[in-house]
Amino acid sequence: MERTFLMIKPDGVQRGLIGEIVSRFERKGLKLVAAKFMVVSRELAETHYAEHQGKPFYEPLLNFITAGPVFAMVWQGDNVIALTRAMIGKTDAVDASPGTIRSDFAVHTNLNLIHGSDSPESAAREIANFFSPEQLVEYEHTVQRWI
Ligand code: RTP
Ligand code: MG
């Protein structure tokens, strides 16, 4: 089953939206595999956002993502990468569909509350950047056993 890396960014933590956001993924029926409340180092931020190096928003993005604590998570489920990207919404809150996290709670592109992996390759890379293999917890997810 597919896994993805999701991270509530410093603006989401500061605004007290961890519970609201996590709740949406729980209610969707996705399985939480790992979670960590942490401050991202400059080095980890550079690794995580390596694909954006050289872009005009790269330096502000690094400053933002290291500015306060984040809530890093791994979630699992069928199609979890596409599903969570859809639930998060488009990068710019103006383009995000109503009902998505960014539409419901964000105003600006650079304060868009949450990161989600955009492909199986980036998910594997990002999970490995933030978690060691033993931090990915194996357990029975009861919702999958109701029927
Ligand atoms: P994320 O990686 O954070 O999940 O967001 P995303 O896939 O929707 O957007 P991406 O293109 O990967 O950009 C990463 C983050 O950089 C900031 N950004 N600013 N000013 C701009 O034009 C611009 N474009 C991107 C956003 O914070 C975005 O989430
Ligand atoms: Mg991205």
pLDDT per residue over 45-104, tens digit each?
A: 999 999 999 999 999 999 999 999 999 999 999 999 999 999 999 999 999 999 999 999
Average predicted confidence (pLDDT) for the chain? 96
Phi (first) and psi of residue 76, to 5 degrees: -130, 145
The pLDDT score that the predictor gives to residue 144 is 61
Q: What is the pLDDT of residues 119-147, one digit of tens each?
A: 999 999 999 999 999 999 999 887 666 66
- Chain centroid to Cα 65, Å, comes to 12
Pocket test for ligand 1, best of 9, 91, 105 (most atoms within 8 A of CB): 91
Predicted model pTM: 0.95
Number of Cβ within a 10 Å radius of residue 54:
6
Q: Is the pLDDT of residue 18 over 70?
A: yes
Burial code of 5-37, b = ≥16 C-beta within 10 A, e = fewer? Answer: bbbbbbbbbeeebbeebbebbeeeebbbbbbee
Tokens of residue 16, six digits = 């007290």
Which domains are assigned to the chain? 3-145 (3.30.70.141)
Residue 141 annotated among the catalytic residues of the structure: no
The pLDDT score that the predictor gives to residue 146 is 65
